[in-house]
Structure 1
Amino acid sequence: MKVGILGATGAVGQKFIRLLQNHPWFEICALGASERSAGKRYKQAANWVEDVPLPNHIAEMTVATCEPSAFSEVDFVFSGLDSSVATAIEGAFARAGIPVISNAKNYRMDNSVPLLVPEVNPEHIALIQSQSFTEDGSGWIVTNPNCVAVPLSLALNPLHKEFGIETVVLTTMQAVSGAGYPGVPSLDILGNVVPFISGEEPKIAPETQKLLATLNNGELDEPHFALQATATRVPSINGHMISATVKFKRTPKNINEVKEAIQSWENPIAELNLPSSPSEVIKLHEEERYPQPRLHADQEGGMQLHMGRLRMAEVFDISFVAMAHNTIRGAAGGAILNAELLYKKGILK
């Protein structure tokens, strides 16, 4: 399929370009960015920050404005747009009959828009049918969650199914790559921890609850549990870490019952053999020092969730640490996996 990338010069747009190289199903055919970049060759418009060479054929492509008329040849677009412009631009593409698979936050909480992590809630793609961007249903929007809600929902999903979640208290330790480029000033983060990330904490609870919702007769029945989050920025490069303590509706007998719930969980999309899907979605580490972002964030192509420090808690029921690559699993890679699911299910065609 022919795909376009909106916000192609930004950090998420660059990650899309990197991950889509040699993809078996998708080929980049159009790049969009701001008017400042439009008309330039990509190598002139973008400050390439990925740690692999910029592909030659991408470097020579001409960047267009983010208007549907400039993307008439594509089958769908990935959006790495900034939230300040995403609402209008993504909506315009959907109304023009061009499907949008977005990393932006703007449409995540719309009741008709799937907020999707394929291993958690693949059935939510049915919400697309309720969208009204076009009369024939050709234009629609699907989003992937915030870079913390992705690993949190993956970790909580098997636990919620087995025990039911009542309360979650968590602290995130978020890598500097999550701030984009140029990101956090060096004097603010080197040898330091910043105990607040603007706009981050309010997303975590509602997005996680939407992801864990049950689809009943075309509507989402969301679980209602209390979640208190503290989001911090730490001087790691890639890999957002979560330290969580959870109270369940049904208290586990022991930690082995909790481990069994995680290890016996079955991936609902395993049989689809999606190119970006990790062979082992959840890696449960027994070594007390694991997971660590530097050692584990890139495993399974950056698409694996790592859990560790799983133990019974003195306060609430259990505690654990979870970690995933924020710009791959939590951003561009997650959006590509969404597209693969939609393609395999016949919604992208």
Structure 2
Amino acid sequence: MGLVSFGGLWFAMELLQGRPQTVVDFLRYHLRLLTTPDAGHGGPFFYHVVVLLVGVFPASVFALAGLRRGEPEGALAVFRRWMLLLLGVVVAVFSIVETKILHYSSLAYFPISFLAARYLHQTLDGHTALPGGLRALGWGIGGLIGLALAAMPLFSHFKEDILAAGWIRDPFAAANLQAEVHWQGWEFLIGLVFLGAVSWFFAFPRPTLRQVRGLFVLSALTVFAALSVLAPRVEAVTQRAAIEFYESLQGADAYVYPLGFKSYAHLFYTRKGPETALKGRPKEWLLSGALDKPAFFVCKVHRLEKYLEAYPDLEVLGSRNGFVFLRRQPREAGSGQGEGR
């Protein structure tokens, strides 16, 4: 009720300040997120359950067990009910919402952490054993994470064999793998050490406080190492070619837009806002209208022919790692039939 009142207050303030369109756009946008997989971000109903189990590991495993622990007394009981309510609402709402994005369920991190901490406190305080099912689940999720992190750098060493075998049918993904990424050879240890730590922890039915601390500290260090060492190399494969093209257009008096995929990278890396990027005109105008300055585009390699056929004014500047870079010079309105997808 408080949330509804607060939202209503914000709507009222916008209306009183003469901005009814802001309220309308806000409601339309969230209705679109609810009813459609906006910007291609769709997924199964259980998407956020998997995201939370893997993304908040190892706390997620202990939180599951904490759901079944007895009700505490006093203020802690009230707080636990609020945490359960918060967790249930977040998971239920964003499971129903058709647009699935990782951070939508991030509000669940807090109740998961609380339930996990309470469960571990009770386990350590009572010297009770971890259930076999919990240990198996911990081994399973932690093992998958560790193996994935360890396999990531090794995959690069065998990419030529994988491509030659034809296992990757997506031309864009295959072209992504042509990116030159330098691996030093030790990066697989990040996943291997994490895998060892998880196996070591869940091998003991009755963990000690030192083991619990060790598991969570090593999990935090693994996240830090993955973000510092692995993520930049993954970025080099998946999007760096496009990012560097956008950066090369910083300060250029030109329009920049992606074709056939949703992205905000062109706005951020060219340092253009939506208004200066398109000046309120529809993107179709960039492809077939009478331009007042050059327009640059980025599309994926498997969609190039479609755009060249529909818009003959487009000029291919080059391609790199699955991305194709195009330009359209100012001239009279063309005869394109629509962007097409």
Structure with more of its chain in helix, by fraction: 2
TM-score greater than 0.5 by the shorter chain: no
TM-score, with length taken from structure 2: 0.22
Structure of higher RCO (CA pairs closer than 8 Å, 6+ residues apart) = 1
Structure with more of its chain in strand, by fraction: 1
TM-score, with length taken from structure 1: 0.22
